[in-house]
Every structure is written in C-alpha cells, then in structure tokens.
Amino acid sequence: MTLFEGGGVAQIRIARPTDRLAELEHFYHELIGLPKLTSWRHGLDGDHHGYDGLILGMPDGTMHLEFTHHAQGSPAPTPDRDALLVFYLPDADHLARVVRRLHDAGVTEVPPENPWWANGGHTFADPDGWRVVFMRGHGVEKR
C-alpha cells in the first residue's frame, strides 16, 4: 500500500526552524498574503516545550508552512541558492502586483541559481535567506 491509498493524505506541511519568526510572519503573511492558520507562544498558549510557532497555509488548507523558534535558539540551516519555494501565478497582472508589493516593501530580487526561473519568474530571498520564486504559469499538470 502506498501513502495515497487507503484514505489518502489530508495535508502536507513543510516545517523549518528560525530565529526570525516575526520577520518571516511579516514576509509570508503580511507581504505575500498567505493566510495565518495559527500561532503560539510557549508559556502564553500552553506548554509547547519551549517553542513559539507560526503556521501559514494556502487558502484551501492543503499545504502549510510552519516556522518554529525555540527559546534556546533555532537558527535556520544555511539555505542552498537552489532550494526554492515556488508559487505559480497564472495571471500576469496578479504576478506583477505581487512583485510590485515586495519591491515597494524594500524586498529586492535576487538572481536565481538556475536561469530557468528567470524566464517568467521573480526570485526573492526570505528573511532567513531561503529563495521564493513567483513564476508566471500554471505549474506542472497532472499526467
């Protein structure tokens, strides 16, 4: 039996430690607009074993980004310039508005490691240095 048989998968979550929780919330929630699904503060919102956290997601709730910070420090691993989070935006005007919003907030584009992403895409670094690409198109179609 595979992961997708016998009940399937309800959600996918990508989790990452950080020492920049507030900056990541500003970048992903306030600038990009990912919905904030939940957040917690250790000691204020119960016992979270020393962790503060933030979960953001796609509006349909199937994909989550979780960022956690431990009281004793949670430095993010050093990102590779080709480790990407890619958002496909089929509407060119929508893509332009997202890119303009980031530029207006003082976020500058970074050159992609792989030149493929420069063809219709815009690459930015989040506060931890991880690359985020906003790409024109629909993404990969199911075969």
CA distance 83 to 132: 9
Q: Which CATH class is domain 13-70?
A: alpha beta
pLDDT of res. 49: 83
Interior/surface letters 44-65, b for 16+ CB within 10 angstroms, e for the rest: eeeebeeebbbbbbeeeeeebb
Kindly provide the residue ranges of all beta strands, DSSP E only, lying in the chain, ordered along the sequence: 12-17, 36-40, 51-57, 63-70, 84-89, 121-125, 131-136
What pTM does this model have?
Answer: 0.90
- Describe the strand order of the beta sheet including 12-17 as a list of residue ranges: 12-17, 63-70, 51-57, 36-40
| Radius of gyration for the chain, computed over Cα atoms and rounded to the nearest angstrom | 17
Identical fold, 13-70 and 84-136: yes
CA distance 49 to 35: 25
Cβ(134)–Cβ(87) under 8 Å? yes
The percentage of residues in the chain with a pLDDT greater than 70, rounded to a whole number, is 98
pLDDT digit string (tens) for 41-63?
887 766 778 899 999 998 888 89
CA distances in angstroms from 138 to 15, 35, 89, 142, listed in the order given: 25, 21, 6, 11
pLDDT band of 5, cuts 50, 70, 90? confident
> Residue 94 pLDDT more than 80?
yes
CA distances in angstroms from 127 to 25, 62, 71, 107, listed in the order given: 10, 24, 19, 10
The domain limits of the chain are 13-70, 84-136
- Domain 84-136, second-level architecture: Roll (3.10)
> Residue 98 pLDDT more than 90?
yes
pLDDT of res. 1: 60
pLDDT digit string (tens) for 104-120?
999 999 999 999 999 99
CA distance 51 to 44: 11
Lowest mean pLDDT among 17-21, 60-64, 88-92, 118-122: 60-64
> Residue 133 pLDDT more than 70?
yes
For the chain, give the mean pLDDT: 91
pLDDT of res. 91: 95
pLDDT of res. 143: 77
